Structure 1
Amino acid sequence: MIRTWHISTAPDAARARVDTARLAAAHGVSGMERARLTAALGAELRQCLTRGGTWRLDLRAATDPPEDGLLRAVVTSCDDTDDEGRPPWHMTVACGEGVPAADAEPVADDQETLADALLGADEDTALVLERLGEQEDLVTFHREELEQTNQGVLALHAELDAAGQAQLDLLAAERKARGEAEAARRRLTFLADASAVLTASLNHDEVVRRLESLLVPEYAGSVDVWLFDADDEDRVNAPRPAAAVVAARTGRPQYAADHPGDLPGVDDHPSAAPLPAAPLLCIPLGTRRTPQGVLILTPPAARWDADDVVMLIELTRRAGVAIDNARRFEHNRDIAETLQRALLTDLPTTPGLHLAARYLPATHGLNIGGDWYDAFRQPDGSLITVIGDVTGHGLHAAVMMSQLRTALRAYAVDGGTPGQLLTKLHIFLHHLQPELYATAVIARFHPDDPTLTWAAAGHPPPVLRTPDGQVHTLDAKPGAMLGIPLQQVIQDHTVTLTPGSTLALYTDGLVERRAQGIDPGIERLAAALGTFRSADLDADLDASADSLLHPLLADSERDDDVCLLLCHLHSRAAELAKTPTRLAF
């Protein structure tokens, strides 16, 4: 179908526009497309009328592929007045599917019919405007929904941001808490380890040296320990910082610097006082009684942390206690050693019979114990030698040892054999100290009889070296320990002495080792004694005693006191005596 209109006037254009709208409706073109077609056609026809001349509008409905279902409008010039070389105007719209092609009636020529037709043609425009209104309402609705959705999304993002920030804050707080916990654990570990190091020594100078090595460089740049009663006069009289003097006078830690320290438990030194070149932390070394010094610290590479200062104050308190304990121990040790030396007997000098004694305190603990030795004469001229050991250590054991020594000398005035003397000591100790025990060996040398008489009570057996180098352990049945709740009579034992013989009396500290027991130690002692020559023993018994101790004590530290008494009958004892048939003591 092809329809053609020739247009030279405005009514021609109006009729053509109305006819086009009707034909498009007849071909099932939608209202939106009809309005678009008629509006574009009207605009083009207005331009054509403006340029003048006659114009032709062709409207063609294609029925053959590939343009089947399309309605095409083409405007061309009939007078060839379009000299601008513009191509013909055209526009194509889609027809409705399944709508049979129909022909529309032409518009009448009268004005009233044309106006009515024009009004009818505006129905498509009204429909478009109505659809546009609906679309606008729909757009407004969707815009409101979008705004609400955006607000929700923004709120959700805000909540997510807040949750994320809260999570970051929690992670930061957790990381900080872990760091603080690790730092606290490190400080507590250091405090425990440092306390163990400080209390491991009983020498106060060593405690001071260890304190300096512990703090530098992690907790202090330098360390100065000011002890009020130090032995070094130069250190005592050396000038001290004003903050240290204030700490010593008040007993409170002081911080001296050009800025406040704000440290817990520490007073800021007055700024009016002379300030040191570097910040100082002065902590009193307190004890249970009175302050004994001040610990003066300069800061490490970084400033002191508040928790570090709390730890330093506690460590200083423990160091003060360790120094005080070490000084107490040193004082008691000096007293004990003085008492021990006072209680040990000067051995009598006897022609023909040489004596040598050695006493070595334990290497651990207070250097005093219950070991003792003694040698004295009885009224009949016999020489009594004794070695014993009171259970325990310390001043109490030393006092009991002194009482036993005095009691033995008192009993020996009335005479008596070694067994009788030990029996009396057993009764004496049982009544004097029921919970204290002792062991002892007594050996008697008589000038008129070359016979050795001895008795033992719970003590390691004597060892006898004969002139031929043979060594015998005098292990005849001994009595029980002195002081145990048991009635006993301790028996005497005898052995013949020949010139050149040596008797070794000793305490268990010389031969007993925890991992081996006592028997291997006695065997080592006997073997060592057998290596000596009679000539060496005759010449210098003291040197022989030292040579005997060295290999026996070089293997380990001593947990017990060591006491050794060597009794050597000179090889020429008869020659040394005034009477050839009588041994002179």
Structure 2
Amino acid sequence: MPSHVFADHAAAQPPERGAVDALISQTRRLRGEVDAVRRDAVADHADPTGRWQRALCDLAVHQLNDLDDHLAQLRDGPPRAGAESAVPDDPAAAQEPRHGSLLSRVGSAEWNLLTDEASWSGELYEILGRDPAAPPLSLDELPSLVHPDDQTLLTAMVTDCLIDGKPIDGEFRVRRTDARVRQVHMMGEPVLAADGSTASMWAVLRDVSELRRSQRVLSESRDSLQRHRDIARTEHRLAVELQESVLPPWRDTLHFPHGSPARLDLAAQYLPSSTGARIGGDWYDAMELPDGHALLSVGDLTGHGVAVTSGMAMLLGALRGMAVAGAPPGRLMGWLNQLLDQTVQPALGSAVCCRYDPDTRRLTWAQAEHPAPLLFRAGTGRALTPPSGVLLGATSGAAYEQADEHLRPGDVVLLHTDGLVPRRDRATATNLLLSLAPRIGEAHTAQECLRTVVDAFGEAPREDDACLLVARV
């Protein structure tokens, strides 16, 4: 068999065995480390990020296996002329190339143009699914094994090699006799005679089916991850826009009619999570009712995303409508519970709802497993004793009790959601907020009180968003 180099090039000397052995050891160590990362990668097939991570690891392992095999062949030198590949004892194993053995996935061939002889290695018979006892196919016969859609490509590569002396480097699909379709990568060159004419053509053919499959999985996982990110960005944008339309930056003084000197000075603020990506169902609200009373409320639906934000907007709209109809806080809570219990996508929520009478300065309120309102008076503070009430949406037909509190001029009522004091349980958060009583007592407006609380806890890293509503008599 002629040498697989151009006639005007000298044959390269093989590298030192020790240097190649060192490279093989490094490759195998790296493959073990990548394989360990692959085993620890997210296995949840419903998670696009996990699928992408595992696909990357699988592809890296394939590449390192191939590198290990190539280095082993480089160390051991080319196979002996006429050597045949071992035939496996298991017939089923013979139908599929043995992953991890280069000799089962890479074969060589040479076609002598002067004698019309062809020479195939035993590995090439296995890759192409041919009987080792059958004669090798000529260049004219070779396209008969190739998928019809790829025959033109193979013919063009061979023609360019033989006529123009161009190296062969391309891939095509092969239909084996066992009906399996394999992806084959072919690299080759013409071998020139002394007079410069093409004497023969040699080629190395490699089964890259598993490698291409891994690359497809990686590409599909990457596309899936990108779609997931695009959807998440769109949902986040919609959630932000919806939330901003429901909870605009707001601070105002709410005056009451009927000639009453009483009034409520109000200020409120929404505090996002540290990442800004977890838009939840927190809300605050204040409105004047037809009878001159004021409705104050804060609440939180469980979960995050546009569905939860839209649910919060629906709940807040229902709360306003039922309050205008004259329902007291306890009944409002019962109706909100029924509404959540009967929605298509059931949800849970906590809330506190207060009705303030400016003539008597009486605050009537009900709650659904929500932090109780905090009352600050004359430099001291305390949490109001909560009436009975379960989470909204937790059970059908729940009843919600009411409690009353008489307010005085200068009193400050603080309503908030759980995320206001980050990473604290409810009791600890309440104590920390109450510790601000002396500073809140020195404030002259609701906005000053709000700023005191935000300065204390607004900049702390928070995993969840929060709402804060301050009412000063």
**Which whole-Å deviations, capped at 9, do the CAs of 1:375-417 have from their partners, x for residues lacking one?**
1122211010111111222122112212211111121122132
Quick check: 1:336–1:367 contact (8 Å CA) kept in 2? no
Q: Name which of 515, 520, 527 aligns with 2:428.
A: 520
Q: What is aligned with 1:548?
A: 453
1:561 aligns with 2:461: no
1:398 aligns with 2:245: no
Q: Name which of 406, 409, 414 aligns with 1:496.
A: 406
1:443 aligns with 2:354: yes
Structure 1 window deviating more from structure 2 (348-357 vs 404-413): it is: 348-357
**Which whole-Å deviations, capped at 9, do the CAs of 1:219-266 have from their partners, x for residues lacking one?**
xxxxxxxxxxxxxxxxxxxxxxxxxxxxxxxxxxxxxxxx9998999x
Q: What is aligned with 1:426?
A: 337
Trace 1:113-262 onto structure 2 (pairs within 5 A).
Answer: 177-185=24-32
Q: Following the alignment from structure 1 to structure 2, what is the Cα–Cα distance between the partners of residues 170 and 182?
A: 18
Counterpart AA for 2:240: E
**Which whole-Å deviations, capped at 9, do the CAs of 1:98-141 have from their partners, x for residues lacking one?**
xxxxxxxxxxxxxxxxxxxxxxxxxxxxxxxxxxxxxxxxxxxx
Q: Following the alignment from structure 1 to structure 2, what is the Cα–Cα distance between the partners of residues 473 and 494?
A: 13
Quick check: 1:505–1:566 contact (8 Å CA) kept in 2? yes
Quick check: 2:266–2:469 contact (8 Å CA) kept in 1? yes
1:408 aligns with 2:334: no
Q: Following the alignment from structure 1 to structure 2, what is the Cα–Cα distance between the partners of residues 323 and 194?
A: 19
Quick check: 2:373–2:413 contact (8 Å CA) kept in 1? yes
Structure 1 residue 192 displacement after superposition: 9.8
Summarize the Cα distance change of 1:491–1:187 in structure 2 as closer, same or farther, 3 Å threshold: closer
Q: Percent identity?
A: 28
1:344 aligns with 2:344: no
Quick check: 2:439–2:452 contact (8 Å CA) kept in 1? no
Q: Following the alignment from structure 2 to structure 1, what is the Cα–Cα distance between the partners of residues 462 and 388?
A: 29
| 1:479 partner SS | coil
**Structure of greater relative contact order (alpha carbons < 8 Å, 6+ residues apart):** 2
Structure with more of its chain in strand, by fraction: 2
Counterpart AA for 1:549: V
Counterpart AA for 2:471: C
Summarize the Cα distance change of 1:510–1:261 in structure 2 as closer, same or farther, 3 Å threshold: farther
Summarize the Cα distance change of 1:365–1:349 in structure 2 as closer, same or farther, 3 Å threshold: closer
| Structure of greater Rg | 1
Q: Following the alignment from structure 2 to structure 1, what is the Cα–Cα distance between the partners of residues 24 and 303?
A: 52
Q: Following the alignment from structure 1 to structure 2, what is the Cα–Cα distance between the partners of residues 358 and 488?
A: 31
Structure 1: runs of 5 or more not aligned: 1-168, 196-201, 203-258, 268-305, 570-585
> What is the root-mean-square deviation in Å for CA atoms of aligned residues?
4.4
Summarize the Cα distance change of 1:322–1:432 in structure 2 as closer, same or farther, 3 Å threshold: closer
**Which whole-Å deviations, capped at 9, do the CAs of 1:69-98 have from their partners, x for residues lacking one?**
xxxxxxxxxxxxxxxxxxxxxxxxxxxxxx
| 1:380 partner SS | coil
Q: Name which of 417, 434, 444 aligns with 1:537.
A: 444
Q: What is aligned with 1:469?
A: 379
Summarize the Cα distance change of 1:318–1:363 in structure 2 as closer, same or farther, 3 Å threshold: farther
Counterpart AA for 2:467: C
Q: Following the alignment from structure 1 to structure 2, what is the Cα–Cα distance between the partners of residues 552 and 449?
A: 33
Summarize the Cα distance change of 1:312–1:418 in structure 2 as closer, same or farther, 3 Å threshold: same
Q: Following the alignment from structure 2 to structure 1, what is the Cα–Cα distance between the partners of residues 39 and 265?
A: 55
Summarize the Cα distance change of 1:397–1:485 in structure 2 as closer, same or farther, 3 Å threshold: same
Q: Following the alignment from structure 2 to structure 1, what is the Cα–Cα distance between the partners of residues 251 and 33?
A: 59
Quick check: 1:426–1:482 contact (8 Å CA) kept in 2? yes
Q: Name which of 268, 276, 281 aligns with 1:357.
A: 268
| 1:546 partner SS | helix
**Which whole-Å deviations, capped at 9, do the CAs of 1:453-482 have from their partners, x for residues lacking one?**
11112111110111x111010023331112
Quick check: 2:376–2:440 contact (8 Å CA) kept in 1? no
Summarize the Cα distance change of 1:172–1:339 in structure 2 as closer, same or farther, 3 Å threshold: same
Structure 1 residue 324 displacement after superposition: 5.0
Counterpart AA for 1:537: H
Summarize the Cα distance change of 1:171–1:512 in structure 2 as closer, same or farther, 3 Å threshold: closer
Q: Following the alignment from structure 2 to structure 1, what is the Cα–Cα distance between the partners of residues 266 and 334?
A: 25
Structure 1 residue 327 displacement after superposition: 3.9
Q: What is aligned with 1:453?
A: 364
Structure 2: runs of 5 or more not aligned: 1-15, 43-48, 50-166, 173-182, 186-207, 256-262
TM-score (norm 2): 0.53
Q: Following the alignment from structure 1 to structure 2, what is the Cα–Cα distance between the partners of residues 325 and 365?
A: 18
Summarize the Cα distance change of 1:321–1:189 in structure 2 as closer, same or farther, 3 Å threshold: farther
